[in-house]
Amino acid sequence: MPELPEVETTVRALRRSILHKKIKSASASAHQLFENKQLFKTIGAILRGDTFISIGRHGKYLIFLLKSGRVMLAHMKMTGHFLVRDKRQETSNKDKYIRFMIDFADGGALLFSDLRKFGRIWLMPKSHLGKFFQQRRLAKDALSSGFTEEYLHTQLISPRPVKSLLLDQTRIAGLGNIYSDEVLWTSRIHPLRKGSSLTEAEVKRIFKAIGAILKLGIKTGGSSIRDYRKPDGSPGYFQTKRRVYQRGGEPCPRCGAKIKRIVIAQRGTHFCPRCQNL
């Protein structure tokens, strides 16, 4: 599933390629993308003639601001990713999982590919954006200025396992399964430790690891372990940097002990039993 680094990588690439281009047409082939089913039928007429003037992100949500004052939000969910192409027909022939496409007046196109059809797209006035995130109780973004060590400490005061807390988007926006495992390994914290049992020094280690791991994820273009690709179609390579995620049975790169896999919050979780003792 695309996490903060994959979304940020996508945002940066789209800023370079589709800003200020006039939208010629838009269409969707999967109604599952829209909570508002009417939008499935009308999004082409609504977007026609408009222009993206900025592209941002909060957690795992992409935020496309339009010249008209509307906002198009997108969540790539499990298997979704955006692609940018000069010739839409060539891309369509190669990728049968294109579910949404925007054609630009200059002949280019923005496409959303999603094997599982779990991705979501919303369209709303800019003034509704705050309420949208409030309704979902979306927390502070893990790379925002408001995400401080003190804030993290308040979000980890809970009897729940720390791995579960890191995955909770109402506590920290942006972290997912891959980067949470890497953060906890870097911090030497067992994923089953109760959040409320963490010392101030341990929270500090987790805070530093979150920033370092997410920035490395962005630098390497994200993780292309399964479906994710960058908008130009190329893979990211953070998967070559991961230390524990999906490395069950392999030696820990720090101490040599065998990495273990358990399930926490219905997610496969990987850790070193020696470096991250409970």
Residue 140 located in a structural domain: no
Are 123 and 9 in a shared domain?
Answer: yes
Are 18 and 76 in a shared domain?
Answer: yes
Residue 16 located in a structural domain: yes
3-state secondary structure of 54: strand
The CATH number of the domain holding residue 240 is 1.10.8.50
Are 124 and 61 in a shared domain?
Answer: yes
Locate all alpha helices (DSSP H) within the chain, ordered by sequence: 4-17, 37-47, 88-94, 129-135, 149-155, 162-167, 177-187, 200-219
Are 126 and 202 in a shared domain?
Answer: no
Are 184 and 107 in a shared domain?
Answer: no
Burial class (CB in 10 A: 0-12, 13-18, 19+), 165: buried
Are 183 and 249 in a shared domain?
Answer: yes
The Cα 100–Cα 23 span in angstroms is 14
Provide the domain limits for residue 155: 149-271
Are 78 and 179 in a shared domain?
Answer: no
Select from 135, 161, 190 the last residue of a domain. Answer: 135
Q: Which two tokens stand for residue 237?
A: 């390579």
Residue 235 located in a structural domain: yes
Contact 46, 64 (CB under 8 A): no
| Average pLDDT along the chain, 278 residues, taken 10 residues at a time | 95 97 96 94 97 98 98 96 77 75 96 96 97 98 98 98 98 98 98 98 98 98 92 95 97 98 97 96
The Cα 74–Cα 65 span in angstroms is 12
Cα distances (angstroms) measured from residue 140 to each of 90, 91, 108, 256, 275: 40, 36, 34, 36, 29
Contact 77, 119 (CB under 8 A): yes
Residue 143 located in a structural domain: no
Residues in the chain: 278
Are 104 and 18 in a shared domain?
Answer: yes
The Cα 85–Cα 10 span in angstroms is 14
Are 178 and 126 in a shared domain?
Answer: no
Residue 108 located in a structural domain: yes
Are 12 and 57 in a shared domain?
Answer: yes
Give the residue numbers annotated as catalytic, written as ranges: 2-3, 60, 267
Number of Cβ atoms within 10 Å of the Cβ of 214: 21
H or E element at residue 85 = strand 80-85
Name the domain count of the chain: 2
Asked whether the whole model's pTM tops 0.85, one would answer: yes
Handedness of CA 50, 43, 129, 2 (dihedral sign): negative
Produce one character per residue of 75-109: b if its CB has 16 or more CB atoms within 10 Å, e if not. Answer: bbbebbbbbbbeebeebeeeeebbbbbbbbeeebb
